[in-house]
Structures are given as structure tokens and as C-alpha cells.
């Protein structure tokens, strides 16, 4: 049978959105490819079925090789396969399909030193998605930058038969909590995709889906569609902490309730009332006191707690219902 020189080769790649919380900020592990492309990217590796039986073992091996980091909790997010999503020079006839993963880990000085040697670094995930951080109230960037630009995009859609004005307006209301719609912290991916379609993020210009304007792109631009994977990971984790105790994968073995609250706030992007949060934790029975105190807070000694693992056998969905849909 003759070989079709125009055949498309499909390659399966594995991307990891690796999350940690340090200094009460949610971090994404980013890697760099070199001076010719200074944009952040996620740890990535091709799936090699000759060496690895499963996607997960292949991903863990690639991440360890690139970052010298051992992953803890890991789960598959989504398969990203849109055409044009992974364009690189010389990739004619090649199509990259990536399987995205969410991974959680803890950091320490030794790990961070190894990461630096491997050319990896932690980046606050709100530098990629600045409109998602509501811990100090509604971010100014929404009303000062995003909504004015989206309203212009909304008006432009009036002439588009495929997507009229009402549909664009409805998507804006749902995504950003306008009019009678509340803000939903889990709609992270919808918000990013809306900004991409409106040409307000740098990836849309690089992909040829929008024309560059005088307005700076919103948030740090990443390589390929890695910011879309980050948005998917943030949305998944924000939903996950409400019905599974994955938040403790980001905590040290012993912690104060203040540190636990700060970690939940960092992930959810919401400020939580201290007494309400403590009642929530007590009602969920997720933690137990160690009987020890710590003076590391700088004030009165604070009680130390640990995750109560028996809860996994007691309830099917133990989590912290901090809000949402």
C-alpha cells in the first residue's frame, strides 16, 4: 500500500498542572524551554508505551526527570486535542493530543533547590488568572479592564449570525456573575475560554484567533494551551475540595486551623469568615487535635491539628462545603 506523505501523525503527550500552596498562595509548577520562548509551560512528556504501561506512570517519570519532584495525589483532568493547540516550528503533518493531569504536592527548601536546578519554578496561579482571586473582594481588573473589553466584543457579535448579541451577553452574565447571576468560583474554564474567544489573552493572538491591539493581554501568557489546562485544574480542585478531603494533600502533617483556612481560601479564591469556617471544620469532623501547641504564629500559642483519616471510612463524600453552585 503506498504511503500517504500527507498523513497526519498523532502524538500523545502528558501535561501536569502541579499545585502546591506556599506562603498562603496557590502555586503552579512551571518549566522553561529556553531563551527563545520565555513563556511558562507545564511539565510535559510524550507517552511512550514501550517504556510505560499507563499514562500515569509515564507522566510521573517525565515530571521526575524534568523537575526532580515526586508527585503525591494525581488525577486525570481532560484530553486536549483541538487542532492548532500545540503549534511549533516544523510540526507540519503532526498533531499533538495531550492528556492533562492535576497533581498536588508539598514544598520544602530541599525540593525547591532541586526544582531550581532543573529549570522549574513555582508561579502564583493568580498571575495567570488574575480575575479569579476574590480573597480581598471583587478584583478591580474585572470592572476596569475585562468588562469594558467584553462589552465591545458583545456589540461586535451583533453582526455575527453564528453568535448573536443575546448569546454573548448571557455567557458574560454566567461567567462573571453579572446582573442577577452570582459569581461561581468553579466557572474558571468558562471565563478563560470567553476571554480567549474575545481575544483578550495572549494565546488567542499567538494562535491567530485574534489581532493584537494596544491593550496588554490579561494575565501571563503560557505556551500552547497550557493556560487552558491550568484553568481546568483550578476549576477541578475548587470543586473537589467540597466533597473530598484533597485539601490535606497540600497541608503538612500538623497544622493550625488558621493555616488550614488560609489554604482553603487560596484554592477557592474566596475570603471565609473565621468563626463560620471553624464551625464548618468541626461539623465536617475532618480534623482532630494533636494535643500540641505551636508558637510559630507569633502571637498566642495555637493548637495543632491533623487530618482525621477515619472520615474516609465513615462518609462517602467528606469535604468542606465552602460555597459554589
Q: Which three cell numbers stand for residue 64?
A: 521526575
Q: Is the pLDDT of residue 163 over 90?
A: no
- pLDDT, position 162: 56
Q: Which three cell numbers stand for residue 113?
A: 533547590
Q: What pairs with residue 99 in β-bridges?
A: 14, 79
Rounded Cα–Cα distance for residues 250 and 267 (Å): 10
Q: Give per-residue pLDDT as tens, 94-127.
A: 667 888 999 998 887 777 777 887 778 899 999 9
- pLDDT, position 7: 61
Which residue would you say has higher pLDDT here, 57 or 19? 19
Rounded Cα–Cα distance for residues 146 and 169 (Å): 14
Q: Which three cell numbers stand for residue 155?
A: 456589540
- pLDDT, position 82: 62
Query: Average pLDDT, stretch 189-215?
Result: 91
Contacts of 129 (CB under 8 A, 6+ apart): 188, 191, 192, 219, 227, 230, 231, 234
Strands 9-22 and 94-104: parallel
Q: Is the pLDDT of residue 194 over 70?
A: yes
Q: Which three cell numbers stand for residue 6?
A: 500527507
CB 190 within 8 A of CB 175: yes
Rounded Cα–Cα distance for residues 95 and 99 (Å): 13
Q: Give per-residue pLDDT as tens, 272-295.
A: 999 999 999 988 899 999 999 998
Q: Which of 30-39, 71-80, 103-112, 240-249 has the lowest mean pLDDT?
A: 30-39
- pLDDT, position 35: 59
Strands 44-46 and 25-31: unpaired
* Percent of all residues in the chain with a pLDDT value above 90, rounded to a whole number: 51
Q: Is the pLDDT of residue 49 over 90?
A: no
- pLDDT, position 63: 83
**Nearest residue to 207 via CA among 221, 194, 219:** 221
- pLDDT, position 11: 80
Rounded Cα–Cα distance for residues 302 and 294 (Å): 5
Q: At what angle do helices 274-284 and 257-268 cross, to 10 degrees?
A: 100
- pLDDT, position 159: 59
Q: What pairs with residue 121 in β-bridges?
A: 30
Query: Average pLDDT, stretch 152-161?
Result: 74
- pLDDT, position 295: 85
- pLDDT, position 322: 80
Q: Which three cell numbers stand for residue 189?
A: 474554564
- pLDDT, position 1: 45
- pLDDT, position 321: 81
Amino acid at each position: 500500500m503506498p504511503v500517504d506523505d500527507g498523513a497526519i501523525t498523532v502524538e500523545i503527550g502528558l501535561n501536569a498542572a502541579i499545585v502546591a500552596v506556599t506562603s498562603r498562595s496557590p502555586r503552579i509548577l512551571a518549566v522553561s524551554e529556553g531563551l527563545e520562548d520565555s513563556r511558562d509551560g507545564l511539565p510535559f512528556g510524550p507517552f511512550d508505551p514501550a517504556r510505560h504501561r499507563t499514562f500515569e506512570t509515564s507522566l510521573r517519570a517525565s515530571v521526575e526527570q524534568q523537575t526532580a519532584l515526586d508527585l503525591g495525589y494525581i488525577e486525570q483532568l481532560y484530553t486536549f486535542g483541538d487542532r492548532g493547540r500545540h503549534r511549533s516550528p516544523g510540526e507540519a503533518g503532526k498533531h499533538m493530543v495531550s492528556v492533562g493531569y492535576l497533581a498536588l504536592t508539598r514544598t520544602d527548601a530541599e525540593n525547591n533547590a532541586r526544582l531550581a536546578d532543573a529549570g522549574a519554578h513555582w508561579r502564583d496561579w493568580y498571575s495567570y488568572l488574575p480575575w479569579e482571586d476574590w480573597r480581598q473582594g471583587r478584583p478591580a481588573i474585572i470592572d476596569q479592564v475585562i468588562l469594558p473589553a467584553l462589552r465591545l466584543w458583545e456589540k461586535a457579535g451583533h453582526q455575527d449570525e453564528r453568535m448573536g448579541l443575546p448569546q454573548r451577553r448571557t455567557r458574560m452574565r454566567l461567567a462573571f456573575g453579572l446582573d442577577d447571576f452570582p459569581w461561581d468560583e468553579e466557572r474558571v474554564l468558562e471565563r478563560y475560554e470567553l476571554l480567549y474567544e474575545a481575544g483578550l489573552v495572549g494565546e488567542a493572538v499567538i494562535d491567530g484567533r485574534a489581532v493584537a491591539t494596544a491593550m496588554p493581554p490579561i494575565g501571563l501568557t503560557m505556551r500552547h494551551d497550557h493556560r487552558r489546562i491550568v484553568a481546568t485544574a483550578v476549576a477541578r480542585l475548587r470543586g473537589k475540595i467540597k466533597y473530598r478531603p484533597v485539601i490535606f494533600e497540600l497541608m503538612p502533617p500538623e497544622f493550625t486551623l488558621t493555616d488550614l483556612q488560609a489554604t482553603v481560601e487560596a484554592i477557592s479564591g474566596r475570603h471565609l469568615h473565621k468563626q463560620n469556617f471553624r464551625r464548618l471544620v468541626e461539623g465536617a469532623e475532618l480534623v482532630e487535635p494533636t494535643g500540641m501547641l505551636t508558637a510559630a504564629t507569633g502571637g498566642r500559642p495555637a493548637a495543632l491539628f491533623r487530618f482525621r483519616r477515619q472520615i474516609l471510612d465513615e462518609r462517602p463524600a467528606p469535604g468542606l462545603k465552602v460555597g459554589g453552585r
